[in-house]
Structure 1
Amino acid sequence: MTGTSLTEGRVRSADGTIIAYERSGEGPPIVLVGGAFNDRSTTRALAAALAPNFTVFGYDRRGRGDSGDSGDTAPYAVQREIEDIAALVGAAGGAAHLYGLSSGAILAALATAAGLPVTGLALFEPPFTVGPHAGSRRPIAGRLAELLAADRRADAVECFMVEAVGLPAEQVRGMRQQPMWPGLEALAPTLVHDTTITGDGGLPADRLAAIDVPTVVVDSTASPQWLRDATRATAEAVPGARYVSLEGGFHEVPPERLAAELRRGLIG
């Protein structure tokens, strides 16, 4: 982060897992919750864009980067990741905004609904399946676990890309030759975490209705319609939430554009 002071830290979650984070910027705290194939390095561009207005906490979700593996302490459960966020909010001073991307958006929403001291919530394209897409996703966490137990990481990545993301199998097979592929394989074990969070894709309307903090829900104009429908449905399920579409690419918006919207939505 050029021109931005960056400090690293560690915090211990409730089950003893060590969660690594980095802190930058000045202002009200915000914790960035990444999605599949994300660690704190993938949120740095957004963190840099937010740093003039927020104290930003980017972290490695458990099992990624420098954070501990949930298998070191107990079998994976979504509640453990909510406890990780609680520990980070504690490190941020006891209350913080949350921003979540994709499966991380679902996780951030569930953490807020569970009553964590969240002051504002921003969600980017939570991958629920709603409307005509409802019921189209089959849970694949078990299948991924089988592939990973057999040390078939490449096949696990392909399974996730095809079944969860919706990319054509031919396109994913071509990706195996690209420089990014080894990094995807390195994070493959955590795909079980993400697919456990998303489950069958159903929108948890009752839990979303429990969110009582200012909320902005964002999608990209270039994302597939099922993701945009999910984003709108999420905003409709959260009381008082604001739905915003921003010009961007597939499942992403340029960091400066997204940061500007988060500033408006969370601190005015």
Structure 2
Amino acid sequence: MTETITSRDGTTLVVDTIGEGAPVILVGGAFNDRSTVAGLGAELASGFTVVTYDRRGRGASDDRSGDYLVANEVDDLAAVIAHVGGRASVFGHSSGAVLVLEGAMHRLPIDRVAVYEPSYYADESLPKPPADVYDRLRALVAAGDRDGAVELFLGEVVGVPAGAVAGMKTGETWPFLVDKAPSLPYDVLLSTPWQLMPFDRIAAIGVPVLAIYGDQTAPGLAAATRAVAETAPDAELEVMAGEDHAVLQRPAALATILAKFFS
């Protein structure tokens, strides 16, 4: 079932619901919309009411804020939780993982939080993007240069080599990525990858947390996931053998882990 709800600032969010049981909200990261978490949702639908939504500024959702603020997306998550009955468990992938952790840190009515490879900066021995990357990204989006925004994000935020980015531009998925360009400043603001993750705020999270990463993922993502598990007071760590950041393309094993945690 597809419905439309309204966030605090009037932004319209498109929400899909499938299955029956306790509500679980799935939140994708950068370059994701509700379609990219739909496979995971289908795997979980036999035991849960699974809710997915297009984060603001992407897919079928709009953005009426006029500014990029983390608070906007926290308000959106609150609106989705209200839509499903006022309480829910949540799962987030990458910057979506950071968003659901923000929801917990803002004391939204969340029962349990599961995250897959949150896109924090946690290991000072690893490279990080420059502090002006957000301003440059936002300027490219404002100028209508979506290709440039995607290239900047992939190259300087994610760390994809220039040759690989050039190859991606000729691939079938490039238009899908470019379509998400206006929402990329939200992903960067959530993660603030030029500075260390907010250990003190994560240490104040008051609900159970499951932090998951794949043993084939990038070192920075693995480090951030471990740091969340070590910092949140009631947290556990799960390492998936043979998996990397693209786990949403192979959702069955992840769904098994989440179903156990959310039950």
- Tell me whether the two structures share a fold, i.e. TM-score over 0.5: yes
Q: Read off the aligned partner of 1:262 and give its amino acid letter.
A: L
- Identify the residue that residue 113 of structure 2 maps to in structure 1: 121
- Identify the residue that residue 207 of structure 2 maps to in structure 1: 213
State the alpha-carbon separation in 2 of the partners of residues 112 and 157 from structure 1.
29
CA contact under 8 A between 1:135 and 1:201: conserved in structure 2?
Answer: no
- Identify the residue that residue 60 of structure 2 maps to in structure 1: 66
State the alpha-carbon separation in 1 of the partners of residues 8 and 51 from structure 2.
19
Cα distance, 1:201 vs. partner? 4.3
Residue from 170, 173, 176 that aligns with 1:177: 170
| 201-210 vs 127-136, which moves further | 127-136
CA contact under 8 A between 1:220 and 1:248: conserved in structure 2?
Answer: yes
SS where residue 36 of structure 2 aligns? helix
With normalisation by structure 2, the TM-score equals: 0.95
Matched, 1:257 2:253: yes
- Identify the residue that residue 96 of structure 2 maps to in structure 1: 104
Matched, 1:266 2:262: yes
Task: State how 1:2-151 maps to structure 2 within 5 Å.
Answer: 7-69=1-63, 72-133=64-125, 136-139=128-131, 140-151=133-144
SS where residue 64 of structure 1 aligns? coil
The runs of at least 4 consecutive aligned structure 1 residues that moved more than 4 Å come to: none
Cα distance, 1:10 vs. partner? 1.3
| 146-155 vs 60-69, which moves further | 146-155
Q: Report the count of equivalent residues.
A: 259
Gaps of 5+ in 2: none
State the alpha-carbon separation in 2 of the partners of residues 40 and 232 from structure 1.
27
CA contact under 8 A between 1:19 and 1:60: conserved in structure 2?
Answer: yes
Cα distance, 1:134 vs. partner? 6.0
With normalisation by structure 1, the TM-score equals: 0.93
Gaps of 5+ in 1: 1-6
Describe the shift of the 1:197–1:244 C-alpha distance in structure 2 as closer, same or farther (beyond 3 A). same
State the alpha-carbon separation in 1 of the partners of residues 238 and 135 from structure 2.
34
1:18-63 deviations in whole A, cap 9, x for unaligned?
Answer: 1110000111101111100000001100000111111010000001
